[in-house]
Amino acid sequence: MQQGALPVDSRRFWIVTPDDRLSPEHATIPSLNPIGRGMEEPFDTPDGLFMYPPSRPNCRCGIGLGIGTGEAAAALPPQHVFGVLPKAPPVISKLALQPIRRLKLRSKTAGTELKLAKGATAAERETAALMVQGARDMQALGFDLKGITMAPASRETMGSLAASYKAKEVRLLSQPFRVHGQSIVKGTQGKPPWAASDTWSGAVHHEFGHALYDKANPGLWDAFRTQAWKGTTGRTTAQQVSRYAMTSPSEFVAETFRGLVAGKEYSDDVLRLYVKFRGPVAPR
């Protein structure tokens, strides 16, 4: 791939190794802040998740955003570039450049609201609207959201996935493409789609899937979050939902929940596995 300026908000896959010398401009790209996932190999994900393959422990794999002119991403050494993704929605680049104030979900008899800090930006309000609509979607399905908080994680928590999720919280990180980006990549060359739905609201529904699981299964979330697939059967079944669902049982549950909310119909094998893992079920 030739070097050159990328369109604004274009995104590139890259590998960053400890030997790379990042310029100050590179350091402003939020994706260079890794979150370990312990994968055997990197998935072609656009959501900002970073993976440490056990077979290559010194390698950090992930993707980044070309912010502004795109020159920072374009300047990465060509041997680290996997490919270029389509232009990202403006809200992603805006939010990736700034911390997000804490947003708390409050349930009221008159409806659901998200309390924004004074002086919230347009991008923050746009994100809040997505989260509020997601909450209303959950309530329309009959889910009780009492005790569930929606809040962005601070940059200080980004080094630890465990710190990024607290009990019964729907998290929108200060690098929101980690939540949103997975929604826009569809299946290619016969592969299943990366995510169970391709809408922005679907990414929020995914996070609600995690929070509702935790709410319905007190004390089980921490162990479930770190649980890996045993054998190949579960992972093969998860492939029917999405590639992200293949990551782990907890992501399978959240992705299946996301698909069900979007009106997807799944095989008996998928539904049996979802029930086995205690996936959220709307009250009848």
Residue ranges per domain, the chain?
11-88, 104-276
Per-residue pLDDT tens digits for 78-118: 433 333 333 333 333 333 323 333 334 343 333 455 666 56
**Out of 38-42, 127-131, 148-152, 264-268, which region has the weakest mean confidence (pLDDT)?**
38-42
Cβ neighbors of 149 (< 8 A, separation 6 or more) are 104, 105, 168, 169, 170
> What is the predicted pLDDT for the residue at 38?
28
Q: Tell me: pLDDT of 175 over 80.
A: no
- The DSSP symbol for 51 reads B
CB environment 29-42: b (16+ within 10 A), e (fewer): bbbbbbbebebeeb
Amino acid 150: pLDDT: 65
C-alpha 251/C-alpha 225 separation (Å) is 8
Evaluated on CA atoms 233, 235, 241, 243, the torsion sign reads negative
Single-letter amino acid, residue 81: V
Residue 43: the pLDDT is 32
Please say whether the dihedral angle defined by the alpha carbons of residues 22, 28, 31 and 37, taken in this order, is positive or negative: positive
Q: Rounded mean pLDDT of 129-149? A: 80
Q: What is the pLDDT of residues 246-265, one digit of tens each?
A: 989 999 999 999 889 888 88
- 3-class SS at 118? coil
Q: What is the pLDDT of residue 177?
A: 29
The percentage of the chain sitting over the pLDDT mark of 70, rounded to a whole number, equals 37
Q: Which residues pair with 60 in a beta bridge?
A: 16
Q: State the DSSP code for 129.
A: H
HSE value, Cβ hemisphere, 13 Å, CA-based, for 10:
18
Reported as a pLDDT band with limits 50, 70 and 90, residue 221 is confident
Q: Alpha carbon of 175 to those of 76, 165, 246: distances in Å? A: 20, 14, 23
Three-class DSSP labels, 192-247? CCCCCCCCHHHHHHHHHHHHHHHHHCCCCHHHHHCCCCCCCHHHHHHCCCCCHHHC
**Mean pLDDT over residues 36-47, rounded?**
30
What pTM, to 2 d.p., does this model score?
Answer: 0.56
Average pLDDT over residues 138-156: 67
In contact, 183 and 198? CB cutoff 8 Å: yes
